[in-house]
Amino acid sequence: MLDISSPVRVHVETLLAAQNDMGVCDAIEHYAPAGKPSAMTAPHLPKVAGIDSTVPPPAHTVAPAAATPYAQGEPQSPAVAPGALIQDRLAGWVSDLTTLHELTERLNRTTTLDDALRELLRAGAALVGARRGLVVLEPADGLGPDTTIGLGLARADLGHIETVPRSATSYGQLLDVNVETAAAALSEVVQADLLADESLDPRQREVADRLGFAASYAAGLATESAGRIGAAVWLYDEPAEPVERQRHLIGLYVRYATEHLAGLVALDRARTTVATLREELLPSRLPRVAGVQLAARHRTGPRGGGDWYDALPLPDAALGLAVGSVTGSGPSAVAAMGRLRASLRAYAVMEGEDPVAVLSDLELLLRLTEPARSATALFAHCEPALRKIVLAGAGHSPPLVVGERRTEFVETSLSAPLGMLACWEAPSVELRTEPGETVLLYTDGLLHRTGDPMDRAFARLHAAAASVPPGIREDPGAIADHVLRAVLPDGLDAVDSEEDVVLLAARFE
């Protein structure tokens, strides 16, 4: 039995224990020496081609020394001590484990599906020694999302690849096969020399020649729980294929990456469902009412929230405008928002000329049906022919009037949000606008997204409205866009914001 020093054993075992959660310890079993001890005297395999330069090679790896010739009659001995070869081989395993750990850590830091797919392509290219590639995301259940992302390939290049008959492509062979289990889908397709393959599809040969790739390696993306979700393909500029060691490493990495991608696919579907539900619950289009022009802007936070707006024609050529916010986030808040908005529309049709009565009925309904939830709301009954607005608010921010001669907040009475008091009631406020003035209704999310205290946020909103250029004052949509750009320098799509934003603009002629 070969003698391995105790420090070496402890070092390797400690690292393997740390890496066990990643599932990459299979590399040790794969590369474990077998057979006679003399088989271990061969030089270890070269390190994985194309490993990212940020992953440092092990400093203690020592290449086997060359054999030294001996004079005739002198006893010959091995060129390298067996212990040094074992340490060198163990160092190679440690290098592989370190590389996989570094690549999976990078993947774990991705939070969006597109970023994760791009990281998969970059890491896979490093592991198999390729320069370009593409990943086709196409879940087998048909629920999406379906997308194709390239590495080192422009959109036009991807378009050329998509002109190849699907059955002739390596990703098509992985995605279109009927599989009974996810394990069967975890396969690979190796095309080591495309141009030398006489059975190659003529269109595929033409595209390969046009784009300058001569070989490809494809791996299926599938899990036991989610099934097949896609395939990744890496392209070589010259005839080549990954060696056994590289294929084992890419297999370990793809197995882990696919689980991460499956989680992001499920998250993307949930967000899409909430966003679609929310869009359906909000007005599909704003009504056209003589004497007033309308425009609305809104964005939903990543978890989905309860901010909403509405505009509906009322009897006697009147118009009802409403904005509000339901506490909480996620699907439950979106559902509560839909119920609240539908109820307000019914009350507005019956008694819209009295905004206080509308909000009082809404408060009673909320307190009886959802006692654990509160909401803010503002309802305005407008008579465009008279440019007259009667409004009432429940814990909501005051509207802002923007015109050539004034930019000011409407003075409304202080009131608690709906559901906070046993009986809600607050006086209404009457407002008359000048021709060409615009009234802005908004939710608190617009102020919260600034990150400033509320007094500074109100001041920023007022300054943004006062700075509207004269050339766009006749377009409520342009006014809304200008205000949003001035109040939110980072834009509405800031990924670190949990706040919804609603801005409803009504310009009276």
Q: Taking the alpha carbons of 261, 266, 269, 274 in that order, is the dihedral positive or negative? A: negative
Q: In the prediction, which pLDDT does 430 show?
A: 94
Q: How many CB atoms lie within 10 A of CB 192?
A: 15
DSSP secondary structure string, 122-189?
A: HHHHHHHT-SEEEEEE--TTS-S--EEEEES--HHHHHHHHTS-GGGSHHHHHHSS--SSHHHH--EE
Which of helix, strand or coil describes residue 333? helix
- Cα(229)–Cα(221) distance, rounded to whole angstroms? 6
From the list 35, 17, 16, the residue with the least C-alpha distance to 90 is 16
| 376: its two tokens | 């803010």
The number of CA neighbours under 13 Å toward the Cβ of 50 is: 20
Residue 83 belongs to what H/E stretch? Answer: helix 82-108
The residue type found at 216 is: S
- Residue by residue, pLDDT tens for the chain (509 residues) are 334 343 333 343 443 344 444 443 444 444 444 443 333 333 333 343 344 444 434 333 334 444 444 444 444 545 556 777 787 778 778 888 888 999 999 999 999 999 999 999 999 999 999 999 999 999 988 888 999 999 999 999 999 999 999 999 999 989 886 544 444 444 799 999 998 998 999 999 999 999 999 999 999 999 888 888 999 999 999 999 999 999 999 999 999 999 999 999 998 888 788 777 777 778 878 999 999 999 999 887 666 678 899 999 999 999 999 999 998 877 788 888 888 999 999 999 999 899 999 999 998 888 888 888 889 999 999 999 999 999 999 888 999 999 999 999 998 877 888 888 666 677 899 999 999 999 999 999 899 888 889 999 999 999 999 999 999 999 999 999 999 999 987 766 554 567 888 999 999 99
Q: How far is CA 292 from the centre of its chain?
A: 39
Domains in the chain, please, with CATH? 8-60+81-105 (no CATH), 111-275 (3.30.450.40), 284-508 (3.60.40.10)
The helix, strand and coil proportions of the chain, stated in percent and rounded to the nearest 5, come to 40, 20, 40
The number of CA neighbours under 13 Å toward the Cβ of 308 is: 34
From the list 289, 161, 339, 141, the residue with the least C-alpha distance to 235 is 161
The answer to whether the beta carbons of residues 362 and 345 sit under 8 Å apart is no
The CA-based dihedral angle spanning residues 213, 219, 221, 224, taken in that order and rounded to the nearest 10 degrees: 170
Spatial neighbors of 231 by CB under 8 A, at least 6 apart, are 135, 136, 138, 170, 171, 174, 175, 218, 219, 220, 221
- Cα(450)–Cα(431) distance, rounded to whole angstroms? 28
Spatial neighbors of 37 by CB under 8 A, at least 6 apart, are 2, 82
List phi, psi (to 5°) of 124: -65, -40
